[in-house]
Amino acid sequence: MPIGLIITNERQEREVSAFIGQITEALSSEHVLQAMVEGLPPEVVEGVRRSLSLERKELADSLLAYQRAQRGQADDLRARAADDLGALLVAARVARGWKQKELARRLFLPEQQVQRYEAERYRSISLAGLVRVARTLGVRLSADISNPLQEPWLPSYEMTSIELQKVLKHARAHGWLDKPDQSDESGIHQLRRTVAEHVGEYGTPSLLRTGLNVTDHTGDWLLLAWKAQVTRAALSILQRNRARFRPLNVSWLRDLVRLSSLEDGPIRARMLLIQHGIVLVTEPQIPGMKVDGAAFLVDENPVIGMTLRLDSLDNFWFTLLHEVAHVILHYRTGLASGFFDDVDNPEIDELESEANSFAGSMLIPEEIWKRSPARIAKTVEPVERLAKQLSIAPAIVFGRIRMERQDYKLFSDRIGRGQVRRQFFPIISEASHEPSV
């Protein structure tokens, strides 16, 4: 169970209360909402409205859990902490009625140190320090070693030597290893350690949402290794850029779509997204995976990973907007578990359908598409006119025509093949290039 939002101090309590008020004002006033979503298609506006309602409910639940815990009723706060030990320690401190300052006094530590520990859910504290905090809070720590799990942080099946060599070869080719010339044994050890640390801190992507039959992929070593690398790159970006994602701010979506009309639009899109608290990482897929894009959280920060499996402008922009849709629409209803998408899959569940609809409407609003001659065009002129009208790349319109007609030979020279990867992956050699971060 993913950890829920947990309020840890009075400052956060005030911030959440104020944010709930802002969302309520936006939802109850058409004037306020329209100022936020001006220029967006009606179907996208409706999706934003639903996501804000969910955001308000999650914030209100977290606020209520915190306030109840302050009165000694900590069950809700403990439930939100799930099985995260650090979050449980925060819940115990709140339930005791102690502020961070009081816990710091009892631990003979600066208050700022306790604030840092709680902000990162005690991930960097030593074992002795963790035991000391628990004892001070009156929390009993226990462990059951009667039936120890075999490496519980790794997939439940043994990888074959062929699978291990496949991941190792990919890691070497794409700059994953700290020492590119290290031995196979050393390289495999680093990969296993990286995945173990990643799963220990962030869990496994329990659902691979690529169809109606949502599948358990906790044992997918290729997916885990890829996600660990994307997370590693995202953390590096977040150390340099601390912009915060704000669900109330969606006015930049039109600017994102218009970037598609520029030759370097994909690179500019990455810069625009980080300004609004969303990290975009492009990382080639390991052979055998079938993932175009992913959206998940890293410490409350939305991260979008893209493999650029299909190197074309139409695929890039649809995949990007699909993942952005997950961030905007499903921040509280799935992003903690993550979405790992094969956008060519014709069978999709409700959340994927919402993301598809959002992406399609943002790129080409439905009302405009229904009336446009480009929809039935057999020549390029109507398509290019529509693209110019919408200030988007013509490749996006050509791609939609190909998809709707299920004719992928049509306009095959118009979808911008070979124009994306070269922007993100500087060519060092055929065997090795650095991942884009």
Q: Check whether 157 has a pLDDT greater than 80.
A: no
Within a domain: 433: no
Is the domain of 240 the same as that of 123?
A: no
Within a domain: 142: no
**CA distances (Å), origin 166, targets 152, 177, 179, 429:** 23, 14, 18, 19
Is the domain of 71 the same as that of 213?
A: no
Is the domain of 308 the same as that of 391?
A: yes
pLDDT in tens, 352-398: 889 999 999 999 999 999 999 999 999 999 999 999 999 999 999 99
CA–CA separation, 250 vs 38, rounded Å? 9
Q: Which residue has the higher pLDDT, 113 or 214?
A: 113
User: 132-146, 191-205, 357-371: lowest mean pLDDT where?
Assistant: 191-205
Q: Check whether 56 has a pLDDT greater than 60.
A: yes
| pTM summary value | 0.86
pLDDT value for 143: 72
Number of domains in the chain: 2
Name 312's Cβ contacts closer than 8 Å, sequence gap at least 6: 395, 399, 415, 416, 417, 418, 419, 420
Is the domain of 211 the same as that of 131?
A: no
Q: Which of 85, 113, 137 is the last residue of a domain?
A: 137
pLDDT value for 428: 39
Q: Check whether 48 has a pLDDT greater than 60.
A: yes
Within a domain: 102: yes
Is the domain of 398 the same as that of 287?
A: yes
Is the domain of 260 the same as that of 337?
A: yes
Within a domain: 174: no
pLDDT value for 59: 93
Q: Which domain holds residue 86?
A: 10-137
CA–CA separation, 401 vs 99, rounded Å? 59
- Give the chain's length: 437
Is the domain of 388 the same as that of 243?
A: yes
Q: Check whether 348 has a pLDDT greater than 70.
A: no
Within a domain: 434: no
Is the domain of 357 the same as that of 251?
A: yes
Within a domain: 149: no
pLDDT in tens, 276-306: 999 999 999 998 888 899 999 988 899 999 9
Q: Check whether 315 has a pLDDT greater than 50.
A: yes
Band of pLDDT at residue 159, cut at 50, 70 and 90:
low
Q: What percent of the chain has pLDDT over 70?
A: 87
Band of pLDDT at residue 142, cut at 50, 70 and 90:
confident
pLDDT value for 344: 66
SS3 letters across the chain: CCCCCCCCCHHHHHHHHHHHHHHHHHHHCHHHHHHHHCCCCHHHHHHHHHHHHHHHHHHHHHHHHHHHHHCCCCHHHHHHHCCCHHHHHHHHHHHCCCCHHHHHHHHCCCHHHHHHHHHCCCCCCCHHHHHHHHHHHCCCCCCCCCCCCCCCCCCCCCCCHHHHHHHHHHHHHCCCCCCCCCCHHHHHHHHHHHHHHHHHHHCCCCEECCCCCCEECCCCHHHHHHHHHHHHHHHHHHHHCCCCCCCCCCCCHHHHHHHHHCCCHHHHHHHHHHHCCCEEEECCCCECECCCEEEEEECCEEEEEECCCCCCHHHHHHHHHHHHHHHHHCCCCCCCCCEEECCCCCCCCHHHHHHHHHHHHHHCCHHHHHHCHHHHCCCHHHHHHHHHHHCCCHHHHHHHHHHHHCCCCCCCCCCCCCCCHHHHCCCCCCCCCCCEC
Q: What is the mean pLDDT of the chain?
A: 86
Within a domain: 146: no
Within a domain: 165: no
pLDDT in tens, 221-263: 788 889 999 999 999 999 888 788 988 889 899 999 999 999 9
pLDDT in tens, 322-338: 999 999 999 887 787 78
Q: Check whether 74 has a pLDDT greater than 50.
A: yes
Range among 30-34, 80-84, 404-408 with highest mean pLDDT value: 404-408
Q: Left, alpha or beta for 166 (phi > 0: left; psi -120 to 50: alpha)?
A: alpha
Q: Which of 108, 137, 166 is the last residue of a domain?
A: 137
> Would you tell me how many other CB atoms lie within 10 Å of the CB of residue 28?
9
Is the domain of 30 the same as that of 110?
A: yes
CA–CA separation, 107 vs 90, rounded Å? 14
Q: Which of 106, 121, 137 is the last residue of a domain?
A: 137
Q: Check whether 21 has a pLDDT greater than 90.
A: yes
Q: Check whether 195 has a pLDDT greater than 70.
A: yes
Q: Check whether 34 has a pLDDT greater than 90.
A: no
